[in-house]
Amino acid sequence: LGIPIYEIPISYTPRPFAAGKKIRPKDGAVAVWTLIKYRFFSTDHPTALTAGLEVAQEANNYNKWIWDIIRPHVRGSVLEAGAGLGTFADILLSHRVKRLILCDIDPDYIALLKKKFIALPSVKVITCDLSSLKSSSKLPKVDTIVSINTLEHIKNDLQALKNLKIRLNPGG
């Protein structure tokens, strides 16, 4: 096709445990058990995405690492775009986020989020297709938008980012 292809060598040295590598053989066992559980024992047959979200709920070091990276940038009212099962919402609320808007496109996740956070008036759950300007215009303006492991699942991710940018308050 006349397209130049370049091979760029990289070097890789795995991190030792002391430098932050926290994966252990038990993590592999959890992953294998999750695959077996959903293949042979689950009656609700969740999607691969849901199974992945359930495993991510238990990845405390990973979630803490993400929080440590974004913490300096989180302020005011927060929108979590693609809230899924609410794993990161739990972290945001535990760090005193006063107003939290959770959005997702999946009706099962929306139902779960509404049930999970029903007693918290500071949390609002909204069904939203982030790649649709009409749908995303239902979202309130916020000071911070957090989207963890979401954009790679959206077909028109660039449009989703443009729509989210519109939902930010000045300086957000």
Amino acid identity for residue 95 in this structure: H
For 23, the token pair is 């994966």
Provide, rounded to the nearest whole percent, the portion of the chain with pLDDT above 70: 80
- How confident is residue 88, by pLDDT bands cut at 50, 70 and 90? confident
Q: What is the 3-state secondary structure (H, E, C) of 39-64?
A: HHHCCCCCCHHHHHHHHHHCCHHHHH
Instruction: For the beta carbon of residue 30, count every other beta carbon within 10 angstroms.
Output: 14
Query: What does the pLDDT read at residue 51?
Result: 58
Query: What does the pLDDT read at residue 5?
Result: 67
- Name the residue with higher pLDDT: 44 or 170: 170
Contact 70, 146 (CB under 8 A): yes
- In the beta sheet, which residues pair with residue 26? none
Query: What does the pLDDT read at residue 43?
Result: 57
C-alpha span between 160 and 128 (Å, rounded): 11
C-alpha span between 41 and 123 (Å, rounded): 34
pTM for this one?
Answer: 0.68
